[in-house]
Structure 1
């Protein structure tokens, strides 16, 4: 496998893992000791299983969109336009999530009423925040390099270290 292919799969893996963990965290926060405000009631363990199934799926979709955006638009588009494109993607992503949740839970209410249930805006805000965080983390990782992000977080990035190298002409 080439370096480019490995980087693509690593991006998809990171997004899949990130979205799965984010969905599980949301289930734990909303499922333990809280009462749903809307008419749709989610069972805790059903939500965990749904998170384990849908997290990698949405992570793969989000990862592939990130790859497409970085490979075909990163150099030609300004950062502001890149953020606008990502915002449009997040709106489409949220719409797809709402449609899948509506189909999965099969409520007797209309789609619009399901989408604007009390408490759903907190979930939408959470998803938006997670996507912005993961997008920003991937941008920082691309800027500093994949292995240098951990060094930056542990304050070893700016510490110089002596190396022995051989130069051949």
Structure 2
């Protein structure tokens, strides 16, 4: 979690350094918020932009991360935009205050409250406020779009990586809520949908294990990894165990709100698939191939065998150390729609 926070903050710092440098370029160094800015030496100007860029990156990045974690997921989209806008405006005024302080120190000007108020409320500051607000809003918009397509997929779509179908070797996991029909009948449609919302919020823990959430289908989530990322340190296995642990740690919350602690079964397989950008009216990155169907069929066997987590032998052969879990051979299983039986293993944490 800490590593993810640091990497996102560094990204915001880089973006804001570039954004502030670009603003200065557009103004041709002519923004006269403080006197004699152009008299600064070039290394002083660079230093100012680095200081402000680092501060802006930390400030706006922290706001974005905190809002995403504690606020945005609990309120409607329109309210989230309003709260986010207010947060950005407060951050912009904090950034301007630092800018005035830094410039005053470099230019050796005495900064008293009247001068500070005059500078902060001057008409020359308006373009800066508008520009910073637009940059913050654009970053937030791109962040939301990136989440819509899945982390990193927006960049791939913009670069045209999947405009033509390509083959990849991937791992797929199908996660499905146990006893979903009976739970839905007992809770009703609205409360059942709220339960699914809560479960899928908790599934965000998979980011720690480099999993991509390919799609949600009803009460089912489909996760995927590039082969190397999923097998490294058994991430594909640890993902399911971590999700189980997350649900268990919130069992009191689920019991009190829904009178049920959700349980998920999973099936996992790996192999060659085709990935392509599809759709005109609605675009998305889609995966095609027998690997996906097989992973789904393996998950269907969980109810028949009375197991929570089943994997194919292709996965089993590629796993590293089995520390933290046990594998049990369940037999040669004839999966629905398959001509040949597959060797299937069940997995349990220890």
Give the TM-score, by structure 1 length.
0.82
Q: Distance in 2 between matches of 1:36 and 1:22?
A: 15
Show the counterpart of 2:17: 20
Displacement of 1:71 in angstroms is 1.3
Q: Distance in 1 between matches of 2:80 and 2:45?
A: 33
Show the counterpart of 2:282: none
Aligned length: 164
Displacement of 1:49 in angstroms is 1.6
Q: Distance in 2 between matches of 1:41 and 1:66?
A: 34
**Where in structure 2 are there 5+ consecutive unaligned residues?**
170-270, 272-290, 296-311, 313-343, 345-350
Show the counterpart of 1:102: 100
Q: Distance in 1 between matches of 2:32 and 2:55?
A: 27
Q: Which stretch has the larger CA shift, 151-160 or 114-123? A: 151-160
Show the counterpart of 1:89: 87
Q: Which one of 118, 123, 126 corresponds to residue 128 of structure 2? A: 123
Q: Which one of 86, 109, 116 corresponds to residue 111 of structure 1? A: 116
Q: Which one of 65, 68, 75 corresponds to residue 67 of structure 1? A: 65
Displacement of 1:134 in angstroms is 0.9
Give the TM-score, by structure 2 length.
0.42
Q: Distance in 1 between matches of 2:78 and 2:22?
A: 30
RMSD: 2.4
Q: Distance in 2 between matches of 1:39 and 1:97?
A: 15
Could you say if the C-alpha distance between residues 68 and 47 of structure 1 is closer, same or farther in structure 2, counting changes exceeding 3 Å?
Answer: same
Q: Is the Cα–Cα contact under 8 Å of residues 33 and 124 in structure 2 kept in the other structure?
A: yes
Displacement of 1:17 in angstroms is 0.6
Could you say if the C-alpha distance between residues 31 and 41 of structure 1 is closer, same or farther in structure 2, counting changes exceeding 3 Å?
Answer: farther
1:6-85 alignment runs, 5 A limit:
6-32=3-29, 35-36=30-31, 40-43=35-38, 45=42, 46-85=44-83
Displacement of 1:115 in angstroms is 1.4
Displacement of 1:130 in angstroms is 0.7
Could you say if the C-alpha distance between residues 158 and 91 of structure 1 is closer, same or farther in structure 2, counting changes exceeding 3 Å?
Answer: same
Q: Is the Cα–Cα contact under 8 Å of residues 31 and 124 in structure 2 kept in the other structure?
A: yes
Show the counterpart of 2:152: 147
Q: Is the Cα–Cα contact under 8 Å of residues 60 and 88 in structure 2 kept in the other structure?
A: no
Q: Is the Cα–Cα contact under 8 Å of residues 52 and 95 in structure 2 kept in the other structure?
A: no
Q: Is the Cα–Cα contact under 8 Å of residues 148 and 157 in structure 1 kept in the other structure?
A: no
Rg larger in 1 or in 2? 2
| Greater fraction helix | 1
Could you say if the C-alpha distance between residues 141 and 10 of structure 1 is closer, same or farther in structure 2, counting changes exceeding 3 Å?
Answer: farther
Q: Is the Cα–Cα contact under 8 Å of residues 37 and 118 in structure 1 kept in the other structure?
A: no
| Greater fraction strand | 2
Could you say if the C-alpha distance between residues 95 and 37 of structure 1 is closer, same or farther in structure 2, counting changes exceeding 3 Å?
Answer: closer
Q: Distance in 2 between matches of 1:104 and 1:12?
A: 22
